[in-house]
Structure formats: structure tokens, C-alpha cells
Amino acid sequence: MALNADDEDFEWEPPSDAEMKVIQARRERQDKISKLMGDYLLKGYKMLGECCEVCQTILLQDKQKKNYCVSCQELDSDVDKDNPALNAQAALSQVRERQLASQPAAGDPPLSITGQPRPEHCEGAASGLRGPLPPQAAVGPAAVAPPAPVPAPQCPAAAPHPALLSAEEAVLHKLRWATQELQQSASVEASVQLCGLIRGCADSLRSLKELQGS
């Protein structure tokens, strides 16, 4: 962005709608975290110089010397379903939005927001943006939507088999990642979400196998 460029280049581009939604969601979450932290500070909690290993939020310490992370222990228990920064379902609906917006230029792969993978929970949004365009009918609502897009046999630009293989690879990769996260997860809600993700991956793999078989 502008500040990473030379001093002479001041080409500040306003963020797109999708980016704005992510920024807005992130800002709202940060506001909630800081409000909670302010309340706890007034109640006598100490603000430590350390950050939480999971979410990098600054840790608080109560009078019994117990460390407390506001984000993990308080906010994650009522996760905002529409927050694309946190929820894979919301991220996927954002992906669909972008695809709708860029549909006149069908056949071109959508550009990713940043060239680098996001450090958030839903890597699906980033990988979804880098994948090929799926058709409207194939992307149906699921309990927890799979992070990788369902491959498109009708897609004219890519051959079915390589697309199916790469989709399968992506889903397997995500499945492996989710499994690792599940093993390390300490929070109940995060575990539930990861299980949902694994189920979604399994459903995707089943659909891919059916497509390959047909």
C-alpha cells in the first residue's frame, strides 16, 4: 500500500467493498476487545507486557495472579457469525460476493486482496480467491461451508482432471491443517468449529470423488 512505496508515490487507493468489510469487522472486534480490557483495568486487573499465544491479544492478570485473555476466553464464546475475519461461512459468502462482482470478466481468476496468505483463522477466503471461479449452482449452502471451492466441470478454461486433482489436493491440505489445529486446540468453541470444517472437507472430498467417478 501507499506507505510501503517511495515517498514520492502517494497513490492511495481506497479499499474495495470486500476489504472494507474485513477492515470493519476487524475494527469492531478490536473495539470490543479494548472496551472489555478497559473495564477489567478499572476493576483492578493488571495489563501485562505479554501477548496471548493464540490470538496475540495483550494478557491481563487478575488479583489471584491468573492470566486472562479477553479475546480467547470471552469473545470467542459468542463468535459473530457474520465476521469474515473469524468465520469460514462468512468468508465464503464474501468470496461469492466478489465473484458476483467480477462475473462480467468470467474466465479471469479473481485477484487476491494481498499477495500473501492471511494470518487469520479462515484461510478459506484467501485460498478461495486464488482458486478458479465455481458456477452458482454448485456452491450450495452447507452447515459449515468447505473452505475450498467446489470445482467446476463447466469451466471452459481448465481441464476437468487437473482441476479436480488440485481441488482435492487443496481440500486434503485443509483437512490436514484442521486436524493439526484440532489436536492443539484448547477452546471448546474452536474445536467445534474445526470439527465442522473437517466434516465440510469430507463432504467436499466425497463430491470430488463422485465427479471423478462420473
Partner 1 sequence: PVGMQPPLLVVSALLAAVLRCFGPRGGSVFFTRDTGDVLVTRHGQKILRSLQLEHPAARLIVDCVHTHCQIAADGSKSFLLLLSALLSEMVSCCGASWDSATARRLAQRLLQFCWTGLDDVIARGVTQRASLLAICGYHGDVVEGLVRGYMAGRVGDGPAKVLSPLVCRFYQKWSGGVRGAEPVAVIHTHFSLLHTAVSGLPIGCSGVAEGLVLERDWSAFFEHGPRVEVLVLAASVCPAAEPGRGCVCDRCVAWPQVCVCAQQLGACVLLSAAKQPDWVLQWARRNRVCLAECLDPERLDLLCLLGQSRPTPAGRVATATSVRRLVLGGRRLAAVVPAHAPRAHTLLLCGPGPGPLDQSVSEDQSQSPAADCWAEALGSGCLLPVGGAFELLLHDFLLSSDWTGDPQVSRLLARAVLSVPGALHSHKPRHFLQLHAHFLRQGSGGPSRPWSGGLESVAAKRQLLSAVLQCAAKLLTVETVLRVHAPLRTSRSDEEED
Question: According to the binding rule CB under 8 A, does residue 46 interact with partner 1?
Answer: yes
- 90 CB-near residues (< 8 Å, 6+ apart): 81, 82, 83, 84, 122
Question: For partner 1, which residue of 16, 27, 28, 176 counts as binding (CB under 8 A)?
Answer: 27
Residue 130 CA to residue 144 CA, distance in Å, equals 20
Q: Nearer Cβ to partner 1, position 113 or 182?
A: 113
Question: Quick one: which of 202, 193, 213 has its CA closest to 91?
Answer: 193
Identify whether the C-beta of residue 207 lies closer than 8 Å to the C-beta of residue 151.
Answer: no
Question: For partner 1, which residue of 17, 39, 82, 169 counts as binding (CB under 8 A)?
Answer: 39
Question: For partner 1, which residue of 2, 106, 111, 188 counts as binding (CB under 8 A)?
Answer: 2
Among the listed ranges 37-45, 83-91, 147-155, 173-181, the one in contact with partner 1 (CB under 8 A) is 37-45
Site string for partner 1, 7-26 (x = CB under 8 A): x--x-x----------x---
Map grid coordinates 485460498 to a residue: 127
Quote the least distance from Cβ 151 to partner 1, whole Å.
Answer: 32
Question: According to the binding rule CB under 8 A, does residue 4 interact with partner 1?
Answer: yes
Among the listed ranges 55-63, 75-83, 158-166, 173-181, the one in contact with partner 1 (CB under 8 A) is 55-63
What is the total count of residues that contact partner 1 (CB under 8 A)? 29
Question: According to the binding rule CB under 8 A, does residue 111 interact with partner 1?
Answer: no
Instruction: Compute CA distances 126 → 19, 148, 192, whole Å.
Output: 12, 10, 22
Which residues, 117 to 156, sit near partner 1 by CB under 8 A?
none
Which residues, 181 to 200, sit near partner 1 by CB under 8 A?
none
Identify whether the C-beta of residue 156 lies closer than 8 Å to the C-beta of residue 132.
Answer: no
Q: Where are the beta strands (DSSP E) in the chain?
A: 46-51, 58-61, 67-68
Question: According to the binding rule CB under 8 A, does residue 62 interact with partner 1?
Answer: no
- 151 CB-near residues (< 8 Å, 6+ apart): 132, 134, 160, 163, 164, 167, 208, 211
Binding site for partner 1 (CB under 8 A): 1-4, 7, 10, 12, 23, 27, 30-31, 33-35, 37-39, 41-42, 44-49, 51, 56-58
